[in-house]
Amino acid sequence: MKKAVLIPDSFKGTLSSTEICSIMKERIHTYYPGCEVVSIPVADGGEGSVDAFLTAVGGEKITLTVENPYFEPMKSFYGLIDGGKTAVIEMASCAGLPLVEDRKDPRKTTTYGVGKLILAAAGRGISKLVVGLGGSATNDGGCGAAAAFGVRFYNKDGEEFVPTGGTLIDIDRIDMSGRSSALDGVEVVTMCDIDNPMYGPTGASHIFGPQKGADPAMVEELDRGVVHLCEVIRRDLGMDLSEVPGGGAAGAMGAGMIAFFGSRLQMGIETVLDTVGFDQTIGDADLILTGEGKIDGQSLRGKVVIGVARRAAKQGKPVVAVVGGADYDVEPAYGEGVTAIFPINRLPQDFSISRTHSRENLTFAMDNIVRMLKAFAK
């Protein structure tokens, strides 16, 4: 084996994608010391996405002071890759759930800092902007970010304000005339791995509000605000985003990225594959190793393993998925380009126990996979 490409997702709660790549690479080099190993840790748009892109393709991490979810100053960052032509932002870096700790309140939190990151990155003369949604503490429909980018929101008294989840209902008018021109001519892509709409039973507030601190009454209040925002966007901007898949991502930030930043929503793995030049990278590869914490029916909707397999299948490349666990409904994965699936857990243990052995279990599984490849190559 002369070349292997590693492109796993993280095993949530156990191993990061970077750690998985490291273990896979070490086992491959044990048996194939001269093998070229290309590691592409997968970013899903949430916390760690910028670092994953920088690890995969190199680049520069830019730090700056922006607002946290409660409008307080904090140090945040974005990444520059592709020779400075592409900027990568993860909204979790300044609007993430870990930043609010014991004061969760999606009525009051803001994406304003995300808008500051976008404005700063756009000012670097980029041609492409990638924004990762995931792990947010907000439910403001991206209005905070839009306000930081020059979009003006007015209440019924004609007063300008920055809407939060609890004050979306007060928006009377949206004025785009002051929006910065820094993104004019820039391709904006938003990484989004869910298809929830803006509002309703499967929307932003009902599905994700509780994890951000919303009780049932607050969920209803937040949902009414998002419905109102959707109606004002339809009237003032001429866009009906009510049923856009992914519009409800990150507290309806998905819809906000479309309305205020002219973005398109794209599955995270497709964004990663395009950004790192995956199709070119695998051209001379003998093997592609991917994986995720659990492969199941949901994976077939286009998450990491299937996204990688579909691209690799176009070039006839074998794809081995090394996973934490495999459900009973994964048979269709083989038809999508997956060559083989190897779960790493060795014993029938509860996740609370097996998660503590993830590193050794992955090492053991990889060792046996490469041993088998070596044996059949003779």
**For residue 328, with 0-12 CB atoms within 10 Å meaning exposed, 13-18 middle and 19 or more buried, which class applies?**
exposed
Hey, what are 196's tokens? 């929830």
Quick one: pLDDT at residue 129?
A: 97
Instruction: Please give the torsion angle defined by the CA atoms of residues 228, 229, 231 and 237, in that order, rounded to the nearest 10 degrees.
Output: 160
37: enclosing H helix or E strand: strand 36-39
Hey, what are 353's tokens? 């126990």
Q: Which residues in 355-364 are b (16+ Cβ under 10 Å) and which e?
A: bebbbebbee
Contact 188, 121 (CB under 8 A): no
Question: How many CB atoms lie under 10 A from the CB of residue 302?
Answer: 17
Model-level pTM?
0.84
Name beta bridge partners: 371. Answer: none
Quick one: pLDDT at residue 60?
A: 97
Name beta bridge partners: 323. Answer: 343
The residue type at 151: V
Tens-digit pLDDT string for the chain (378 aa)? 999 999 998 887 788 888 999 999 999 999 999 999 999 988 767 778 898 889 888 999 999 999 999 999 999 999 999 999 999 999 999 999 989 988 999 999 999 999 999 999 999 999 999 999 988 999 999 999 999 999 999 999 999 999 999 999 999 999 999 999 999 999 999 998 788 999 999 999 999 999 999 999 999 999 999 999 999 999 999 999 999 999 999 999 999 999 999 999 998 888 889 888 999 999 999 999 999 888 887 677 668 899 999 999 999 999 999 999 888 888 999 999 999 999 998 878 777 777 788 899 999 999 999 999 999 887
CATH number, span 3-40+281-377:
3.40.50.10350
Quick one: pLDDT at residue 302?
A: 67
Quick one: pLDDT at residue 31?
A: 96
Residue in 54, 26, 122, 2 with CA at minimum distance from that of residue 272: 54
* Helix, strand, or coil (residue 274): helix
Longest dimension (CA), the chain: 79
Instruction: Please give the torsion angle defined by the CA atoms of residues 17, 289, 307 and 129, in that order, rounded to the nearest 10 degrees.
Output: 50
Contact 289, 370 (CB under 8 A): no
Hey, what are 83's tokens? 């020779």
The residue type at 310: R
Helices (H), the chain: 17-31, 49-57, 92-95, 112-122, 143-148, 204-208, 216-237, 249-261, 268-275, 278-281, 304-313, 332-335, 351-354, 358-377
* CATH 3.90.1510.10 is held by the domain 49-268: yes
Question: How many CB atoms lie under 10 A from the CB of residue 249?
Answer: 30
Distance (Å, whole) CA 362 – CA 321: 12
Domain ranges of the chain: 3-40+281-377, 49-268
Quick one: pLDDT at residue 57?
A: 87
The residue type at 293: G
Question: How many CB atoms lie under 10 A from the CB of residue 66?
Answer: 22
Question: How many CB atoms lie under 10 A from the CB of residue 329?
Answer: 13
